[in-house]
């Protein structure tokens, strides 16, 4: 491939990207705030599919849901996106946000991929009010998880070893986060980069998870520590 062909392909790719973004902005601007009473949900179901990577059946999108980079966003069947949700997959052609069928994102949930990264949420998972999920590393949340309000799941961390250099000018970690199936994170839990919370685990309200959590564990505190296993915990209850 000669330099002229490469330049033409690059310019064509940029033009296609701009056209796709224009279609996205036009549709979402026109439809995002259309109330349900004026058939807003029906119009969004009818007109949104062509601008998304995948757009399933019976999706319920309330007014004031913001989308950026819809060509990199996949939404399964019967997904519920409440008012104030923001999905941002702009910035890199390899960015990806995928929301499994039957999943609910409550009001104010913010999902953002930063650079060559993905956020994948499994089927029938619930993400509570004003939870933020973002990072340079890949983030995966499994099926049938319960994530309570005001949680923070951050797939990157700042390196600050050099005191002579501003923290913002140093590198970031990009290890990513995995939360396996059937996990429950209580209100205000924070999960830092590089963590795996294994299947069936419960993380108590306000905990900061700084190390991996084994399967079916109950962990609380700052930093979070395992205090019991679910099969030996009797009738313990953890508020969400």
Catalytic residues: 158
Transcribe 91-135 into DSSP letters: T-TT-EEEE-TT-EE-TT-EEEE-SS-EEEE-TT-EE-TT-EEEE
DSSP string of the chain?
--HHHHHHHHHHHHHHHHHHHHHHHHHHHHHTT--GGGTHHHHHHHHSGGGSSEE-SS-EE-SS-EEE-GGGEEE-TT-EE-TT-EEE-TT-TT-EEEE-TT-EE-TT-EEEE-SS-EEEE-TT-EE-TT-EEEESS-EEE-TT-EE-TT-EEES-EE----TTS-GGGS-EE---EEE-TT-EE-TT-EE-TT-EE-TT-EE-TT-EE-S-B-TTEEEETTTTEEEEEGGG-TT-----
The distance in angstroms from the start CA to the end CA of the chain is: 58
Structure tokens at 97: 């946000």
């Amino acid at each position: 491939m000669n330099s002229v062909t490469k330049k033409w392909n690059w310019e064509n790719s940029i033009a296609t990207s701009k056209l796709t973004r224009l279609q996205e902005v036009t549709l979402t601007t026109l439809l995002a705030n259309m109330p349900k009473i004026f058939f807003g949900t029906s119009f969004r179901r009818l007109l949104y599919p062509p601008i998304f990577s995948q757009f399933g059946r019976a999706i319920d999108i309330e007014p004031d849901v913001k989308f950026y980079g819809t060509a990199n966003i996949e939404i399964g069947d019967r997904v519920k996106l409440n008012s104030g949700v923001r999905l941002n997959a702009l910035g890199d052609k390899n960015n990806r946000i995928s929301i499994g069928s039957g999943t609910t994102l409550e009001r104010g949930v913010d999902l953002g991929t930063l650079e060559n990264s993905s956020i994948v949420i499994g089927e029938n998972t619930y993400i509570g009010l004003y939870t933020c999920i973002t990072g340079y590393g890949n983030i995966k949340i499994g099926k049938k998880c319960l994530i309570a309000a005001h949680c923070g799941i951050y797939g990157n961390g700042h390196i600050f070893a050099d005191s002579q250099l501003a923290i913002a000018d140093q590198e970031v970690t990009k290890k990513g986060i995995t939360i396996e199936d059937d996990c429950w994170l209580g209100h205000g839990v924070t999960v830092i980069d590089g963590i795996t919370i294994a299947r069936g685990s419960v993380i108590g309200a306000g905990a900061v998870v700084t190390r991996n959590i084994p399967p079916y564990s109950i962990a609380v505190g700052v930093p979070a520590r395992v205090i019991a296993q679910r099969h030996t915990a009797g009738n313990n209850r953890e508020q969400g």
